[in-house]
Chains A and B, each alone.
Chain A
Amino acid sequence: MSILGTRVVRTEDPRLLTAGGTYVDDLRLPELARAARVTFVRSPIAHALITGIDACAARAAPGVVAVFTAADLDDLPPPPPDDDGGGGGGEAAPLPLGGPWSEPLLAIDRVRFVGEPVAMVITDDQYQGEDAAELVSVDYEPLQPVVGTDAALAGASLVFPAAATNVAVTSGAPADATAFDGCEVVVQATIANQRLAPVPMEARAAAAHWADGKLTVWSSTQNAQISRFILAGALGLDPGSIRVVAPDVGGGFGAKIGVDRDALLVAWAARRTGRALRWAETRTENQLAMTHGRAQRQVIKIGGTRDGRILAYRLEVVQDTGAYPRMGGFLPFLTSLMATGAYDIGTVETAFRVVVTNTTPISAYRGAGRPEATAAIERAVDLFAAEIGMDPAQLRRINLVPPDKFPFSSPCGAVYDTGAYAQALDKVLAGAGYQDLRAEQARRRERGDPVQLGIGLASYVEITAGDAAGGETARLVVHGDGTVTVYTGSSAHGQGHHTAWAMLVEAELGIEMAKVTVVHGDTDLIPLGVGTYASRSLQLGGVAVQKAAIDVKDQARRVAADMLEASEADLELDTERGAWQVRGDPESSRTWAEVAGHAGAGGLAADVNYTDGQPTFPFGAHLAVAEVDIETGKARLLRHVTVDDAGTVVSPVLAEGQRHGGIAQGAAQALLEEMVYDADGNPVTGTLVDYAIITAAELPSFELLQSETPATINPLGVKGIGEAGTIGAAPAVQNAVIDAVSHLGVRHIDMPVTPARVWAAIDEARQSR
């Protein structure tokens, strides 16, 4: 029996549980033995001109090696050119915009968000760095801050005067006046998908060392190879002279894709000072200066018939991309691509604008554009259900893409590969006991219980490995002692690649997992690779490992045939014993070690760069049960039941772990978390005291139901699972809380559904009755 699909515990864990991981700040390498510490001086003001920097006192402070400002960055290549034709208006761009939108490494003459690096202080130890950074005196002349999408669109103050607009990207057609003709009911709403902080438990960290013309950078990143590419471009170096190592990485969630300006500066300063350098930011710096996610204002319009057929949908997005348009154009592009969700809707329009503001830049965060799409359509569907007085489960069932329509070409341009959407919905309804829950809800309403019950649904489809064309690499070597090393271009930061890749090798070659070593995140060993994001690892990196194993198996068959003086066609691999034999003759057995030993100079090794050329579309349904105290507005998540179908499951343990974490982050968005700025652009939730990161006490145990609808585009039949939980959970929990108070006349409450917002919504509904 294959090991795939069985409950294997992780190979990573004994080390993490006894010695702890080796994160960047834990590295105790000889190259870093005398490393100095980097501390950044960051802007305390959202929008200002810099009129002077005096670092004299800091330079004279104990332990100071150097203090650098933008003026010292005199040996860097010029910033990238304007690639969108100038002045905004370009199409979706996955890379940072150049030209007038360029992001400097250190602020030059103006600061654009609280937390922007203005100067860097290098000291012998960390405590000295904190002291010396306080002594750097920066003169600011405050400018009118641009906070929020309305202010950005009004344009009274410009974040980039040279761009002459705060709108960096515009996409989509103007509304067609006839789109909703024929609809008996049309509902429209303006809703917020609030700004979130990713909060990986390990904040950003880097170390750098220059020796003999070679730069080594250890970075807490989701992709060493992309980091090397960015470093080479930013520092004007040949990629061959750079080694990037991603050691253990304490979570990423999209915010550690590539390498940020802070770590680029650490690398630059290591060369300039000739000292090995270390940098590990504080949590407060992380909350302000690592990218945030989401931050969309959405206008949703949905129309259809009174008997529940949805005919038309329009989604208009204003994406707040913060102070620099890094992934600015890309996130709302994905939102638009997935706008209609799991529904078969005839007429769809999408449009978006991306605006800059004086806040922390926005980039990928678990789901990256797709949770925003799902939140919008799932709210729209519930609003429509409320308007026509139909059970939201029934409305969904009527409009979900039916099974006979796959592959389904959505009007937004996506091709959903495989799916069983209504089946997923019916499973969660049955698993949760939907009718009983509705009956309990009715009883509480009937008796006027101060604690009301709400049931929230979300049906979703999402896109994983959206950049599948980029592929992923694997190199597999069988050594003479019968052990295996797998070099993967994918990059683990908690997902369990080392376990999953070893399972794939054992399944294919019959070499037990304990003999398989997985190596990732070192560009000297793995020059080519893409890394981990967009839930791409298994369907690209995992399949690459399987392909490499198959290639090695073919090589071994030839070698074993030679050893046994038999024809290749007569040979078989007994994967139970991990041995080659002439078919039906176990006596003729040759072990992997023997075959590898016989293979000669090249040994048994295969290099694969795999792509299936297209993304996959995982789907599912979530059902949340929430209690709301209508006297205080306090909501509590009682149950969360899900189907998350990501095709064939290789490791149930790892897949469930991804779902659990995703659900928690989605529930956190619905219930608690929000990066808040005041009118002056000061972050109000800049520490973990103020930012309400969800804890164990605010969550129930989750009820996961199984469903596997294989993908057809890759041989494993797999889809991505990393982001699905987040995408489904946020709207289900939000809908549950709104459902709990819907009988009081409440139709919508923006996320997070805090007690204050829930109470105000109840109060407003009462007033208007």
Chain B
Amino acid sequence: MKVSLTANGSQVAAEVADRTLLVHFLRDEAGLSATNVGCDTSSCGACTVLLNGRSVKSCTVLAAQADGCDVVTVEGLAADGDELHPVQRAFRAEHALQCGFCTPGMVMATVSLLAENPAPTEDEVRAALEGNLCRCTGYHNIVRAVLAAAAERSLR
């Protein structure tokens, strides 16, 4: 079937098998390989992207379901050039990533969280990120980064 969607502002259309998952469509058809597959049970959140502004685990969405939709991945977050998105900036400043594999999903989950709850408490951050697994950081610096990004936004 033909699937057509907007990925990071660009139109992408491809003929794919009906069962194609959104994550594979993004990686193989849209050339956006930052979004990773970390499990096969929708547990890890490495594949988190924004679908029409809301975070989804793109391994659990068919490409067909995203037909006509607007998708944002971590590649689409930074403004033109070197300007990092505030969440990306906070992740770097707080050393919230090590191997980097969970990072694209973790960043997108954070963007979604802060859109819904601009000033979360630490407990709220921890609860909100329960569906995004990281094996390197012990979450300590990820939580700090999310709180720092929220604080920076509230100052502006």
Contacts and interface: CB of A to CB of B under 8 A. Distances in A.
Interface string A372-409: 00000000000000000000000000000000000000
A654 B95 contact: yes
A22 B141 CA distance: 23
A665 interface: yes
Interface string B73-106: 0110110001010001001110101111111100
Interface residues of A, number: 57
Given A17-B107, A660-B140, A661-B137, A283 B39 contact: yes
Contact of A702 (B24, B125, B140): B140
Contact of A18 (B35, B40, B88, B98): B88
A515 to B, nearest CB: 18
B141 A657 contact: yes
Interface string B2-17: 0000000000000001
A127 B99 contact: no
A282 B24 CA distance: 14
A573 to B, nearest CB: 30
B103 A16 contact: yes
A223 to B, nearest CB: 15
Contacts of A200: 99, 101, 135
B101 to A, nearest CB: 3
A693 B133 contact: yes
A3 to B, nearest CB: 16
B130 A127 contact: no
Interface string A653-664: 110110011111
Interface stretch (A65-73, A244-252, A605-613): A244-252
A301 B43 CA distance: 41
B74 to A, nearest CB: 6
Nearest to B105: A201
Contacts of A12: 100
B99 A249 contact: yes
A699 B101 contact: no
B100 A14 contact: no
Interface in B27-50: 27, 31, 33-41, 43-44, 46
A20 B99 contact: no
Contact of B138 (A249, A250, A702): A702
A204 to B, nearest CB: 13
A653 B103 CA distance: 18
B75 A20 contact: yes
A662 B135 CA distance: 9
B92 A13 contact: yes
B127 interface: yes
B135 A660 contact: no
Contacts of B95: 9-10, 653-654, 656-657
A439 interface: no
A29 interface: no
A202 B127 contact: no
A664 B38 contact: no
Interface string B122-133: 100111011111
Interface string A266-293: 0000000000000010111000000000
B111 interface: no
A496 B98 contact: yes
B41 A18 contact: no
A17 B129 contact: no
A554 B47 CA distance: 50
A25 B28 CA distance: 11
Nearest to A492: B99
Contacts of B156: none
A697 B33 contact: no
A657 B91 CA distance: 13
A685 to B, nearest CB: 12
B143 interface: yes
B135 A665 contact: yes
A23 B37 CA distance: 11
A756 interface: no
B40 A687 contact: yes
B99 A250 contact: yes
A663 B138 contact: yes
Contact of A695 (B46, B92, B133): B133
A688 B88 contact: no
Contacts of A280: 37
Contact of A202 (B19, B99, B141): B99
Interface string B99-121: 11111100100000000000000
Nearest to B39: A283
Contact of A201 (B35, B75, B88, B101): B101
Most chain-A Cβ atoms within 10 A of its Cβ — which of B39, B127, B137?
B39
A199 interface: yes
Q: Is the interface of A mostly helix, strand, loop or mixed?
A: loop
Most chain-A Cβ atoms within 10 A of its Cβ — which of B36, B126, B135?
B135
A81 B129 CA distance: 50
A202 B36 contact: yes
A727 B127 CA distance: 27
Nearest to B73: A20
Nearest to A281: B40
Contact of B33 (A14, A17, A28, A663): A28
Given A494-B100, A689-B41, A697-B130, A19 B34 contact: yes
Given A13-B92, A20-B33, A688-B44, A283 B38 contact: yes
Contacts of B103: 16-17, 20-21
Contacts of A126: 24
A356 to B, nearest CB: 28
A318 to B, nearest CB: 28
B70 to A, nearest CB: 20
Interface string A680-711: 00000001110001011101011000000000
Interface in A530-579: none
B104 to A, nearest CB: 5
Interface in A205-256: 248-251, 253
Contacts of B141: 656-657, 660
B66 interface: no
Contact of B136 (A21, A23, A28, A494): A494
Most chain-B Cβ atoms within 10 A of its Cβ — which of A14, A657, A665?
A657
A21 B142 contact: no
Contacts of B46: 201
A75 interface: no
Contacts of B139: 660, 664, 695-696, 699
B134 interface: yes
A495 B97 contact: no
B98 A657 contact: yes
B100 A250 contact: yes
Interface in A55-105: none
A20 B34 contact: yes
A653 B91 CA distance: 13
B122 A202 contact: no
Given A9-B95, A28-B33, A697-B126, A660 B78 contact: no
A201 B134 CA distance: 7
Nearest to A691: B43
B93 A687 contact: no
A26 interface: yes
A127 B39 contact: no
A10 to B, nearest CB: 7
A262 B24 CA distance: 23
Contact of B137 (A22, A284, A657): A657
A36 to B, nearest CB: 14
25 contacts: A9-B95, A16-B97, A17-B91, A17-B97, A21-B100, A25-B37, A200-B99, A201-B38, A202-B36, A202-B99, A250-B101, A282-B39, A284-B41, A656-B141, A657-B95, A660-B139, A661-B138, A664-B138, A693-B135, A695-B133, A696-B125, A696-B130, A696-B142, A697-B127, A702-B138
Given A16-B100, A21-B101, 11 more contacts: A18-B77, A20-B103, A127-B19, A199-B135, A202-B99, A249-B99, A284-B41, A494-B100, A660-B138, A688-B44, A696-B126
The 5 closest A-B pairs by CB, nearest first: A20-B34, A664-B138, A250-B101, A494-B99, A494-B98
